[in-house]
Amino acid sequence: MLQVLLIDDDIELCQMMEEYLEAEHFALEFAHDGETGARMATSGKHDLVVLDVMMPGINGFDTLRLIRNTSQIPVIMLTAKGDDIDRIIGLELGADDYLTKPFNPRELVARLKAIQRRVTGRDANEPKDDVLRVGHAQVNSANRTAEWNGEPLPLTTSEFALLETLLRNAGHVVSKSDLFMQALGRPETKYDRSIDVHVSNLRQKLGTLDDGRSPIQTVRNVGYQFITG
């Protein structure tokens, strides 16, 4: 059973989500302020965090910064409807995905299950090799760890899934729509820049090849390609 932490000061929403998620076989706990939420999120007792941006005191962004100081636990941000800036900032700070308020609880369940699949297993059609090495990069699908030039690479769940997908297709262009499905577990939607922001974060963490290029190249109007040299 997935242990979910909901950080939101909206008591009514928390109660509603408790009933809905328990019916879907998720265990749910709450925190109603950022400080308490960050402390609970980094305790190791939860599998995933759902975090509201708009909270009194420490807002969702500051809470996410506190969480990311010590933990790569998957985080879904709840943002205001139509506020593109909040969504982009959340992803840049290390959120794995986002939902806009108000949202359909079924959509949240779908996002939770998509992350659960990424964390606990792979598609049956994917290669079964646990360790994948391409150039300076290495990912271990069994323990979900990554390395670059032999050094540990701290990645969020979405960043790991994105890197693994690109490495399995190294030398070939992967379309954005395929990256959405394979890395985020959901279809691409209009104006959704999630993949672009995750790629930007991943590029910063990987650094460059010996010739100064990024190992992740943009193929205009198509998608992205991992190169080895």
Q: Are 76 and 111 contained in the same domain?
A: yes
Residue type, 39: R
- Cα dihedral across residues 64, 48, 84, 213: positive or negative: positive
For 166-197, the three-class secondary structure string (H helix, E strand, C coil) is HHHCCCCEEEHHHHHHHHHCCCCCCCCCHHHH
C-alpha–C-alpha distance, residues 185 and 48, integer Å: 16
What pLDDT, in 10s, does the model give residues 126-183? 444 689 999 899 999 888 899 999 999 999 999 999 999 999 999 999 999 999 999 9
pLDDT at 90: 94
pLDDT at 92: 96
Q: What is the DSSP letter of 71?
A: -
The residue out of 120, 154, 189 marking a domain boundary is 120
pLDDT at 66: 97
In a domain, residue 13? The reply is yes
**Which is more confident, 56 or 7?**
7
Q: Are 155 and 62 contained in the same domain?
A: no
Q: Are 142 and 211 contained in the same domain?
A: yes
Question: How does residue 125 score in pLDDT terms, banded at 50, 70 and 90?
Answer: very low
CATH number at residue 51: 3.40.50.2300
C-alpha–C-alpha distance, residues 84 and 139, integer Å: 32
pLDDT at 80: 82
Q: Are 107 and 159 contained in the same domain?
A: no
Q: Please tell me the total count of domains within the chain.
A: 2
Q: Are 43 and 116 contained in the same domain?
A: yes
pLDDT at 124: 40
The residue out of 120, 154, 184 marking a domain boundary is 120
Question: How does residue 121 score in pLDDT terms, banded at 50, 70 and 90?
Answer: low
Question: How does residue 191 score in pLDDT terms, banded at 50, 70 and 90?
Answer: confident
In a domain, residue 67? The reply is yes
Mean pLDDT of the chain: 91
In a domain, residue 11? The reply is yes
Under a CB-based contact definition with an 8 Å cutoff, are residues 50 and 6 in contact? yes
In a domain, residue 125? The reply is no
Strand-pairing partners, residue 182, are none
Q: What is the DSSP string of 149-162?
A: TTEE----HHHHHH
Mean pLDDT for the stretch of residues 197-207: 95
Q: Are 114 and 138 contained in the same domain?
A: no
Rounded percentage of the chain residues whose pLDDT exceeds 90? 73
In a domain, residue 36? The reply is yes
With a cut of 80, say whether residue 81 has pLDDT above it.
no
* Domain ranges, residue 189: 131-226
Q: Are 17 and 69 contained in the same domain?
A: yes
With a cut of 60, say whether residue 55 has pLDDT above it.
yes
